[in-house]
Amino acid sequence: MHALIIGTTGSGKSTLAKLLCRTLKKQGQICAVLSPTNETGWDADYKTSDGGAFLAYAREHEKCFLFVDESGDAIGRYNDEMNWLATGSRHKGHSVIFNVQASSQISTAIRSCCSDAYIFATSRGVLKLLAEDFNETEILKHDKMSRYHFLMVSRFAAIRMGRLDNGGASCYIGKLSEFSPQKQGKSDEPTDDDKRDDPIDGSVGTAGDSDRV
């Protein structure tokens, strides 16, 4: 299953991507990263800034989690060869996580192949496009997300909300009702009423109602 991580600079999207990568690697999954800016902080089995080398790695391996950082730069809208990551890599058992500032920076073909989206603070125009992509108007109600908070949208499940805690060292995902506007203003441990210990599993975002990474 492929996923999008979307948000403006400083919203927390790269922090979540690195946390997911680190968590999956600890679970024994193979993780590879394409970072056109050679961003530090990734804990992966393979990392490169070269798109061609990344594609070669993906084609030579199976059942990997592939992270494409700054997807607008790494892929863009019209790179058919790189579009294979979304349209063809699933046949090798890969799951791809596209990290991008605005969904309009990547093609409709890529977005339509993504079953999940982690949506940080972004513009209303981006939210409108995502609402159309996921056929989910609830997305439009969340145009003032606090830093380090995000919507978790799935084509096959109810919308949830999450936040990064402890400077991005952990993540909590729960029901929308757990995140009032007042609670969105803080980024700390959940209360005893909120807290549950179900980990997010290796399928990236398909676990129960409330999860802690």
From the number of C-beta atoms within 10 Å of its C-beta (0-12, 13-18, 19+), residue 66 rates as buried
For residue 60, count other CB atoms closer than 10 A to its CB: 9
What pLDDT was estimated at residue 198? 33
In order of 57, 100, 102, 166, the CA distances from 38 in angstroms are 17, 15, 20, 24
Residue 195's nearest CA partner among 209, 207, 181 is 209
Tell me what the pLDDT averaged over the chain comes to: 86
Q: Give the domains, in start order, of the chain with CATH numbers.
A: 2-212 (3.40.50.300)
Per-residue tokens: 35: 């970072």
Per-residue tokens: 206: 């398909």
pLDDT band at 213 (very low <50, low <70, confident <90, very high): low
Q: What residue ranges in the chain does DSSP mark as E strands?
A: 2-6, 30-34, 46-48, 64-68, 95-100, 114-119, 149-154, 157-165, 170-175, 211-212
Kindly tell me if the per-residue pLDDT of 185 is higher than 70.
no
φ, ψ of residue 168 to 5 degrees: the values are: 90, 5
Kindly tell me if the per-residue pLDDT of 205 is higher than 80.
no
- Four-residue CA torsion sign, 85, 69, 80, 139: positive
Per-residue tokens: 65: 């989690």
Q: How far apart are CA 179 and CA 46, in angstroms?
A: 36
Q: What is the DSSP letter of 81?
A: H
153 or 210: which leads in pLDDT: 153
Beta bridge partners of 124: none
pLDDT band at 1 (very low <50, low <70, confident <90, very high): confident
pLDDT tens digits, 33-87: 999 999 999 999 999 999 999 999 999 999 999 999 999 888 877 688 889 999 9
Residue 63's nearest CA partner among 39, 91, 40 is 91
49 within 8 A of 37, measured Cβ to Cβ:
yes
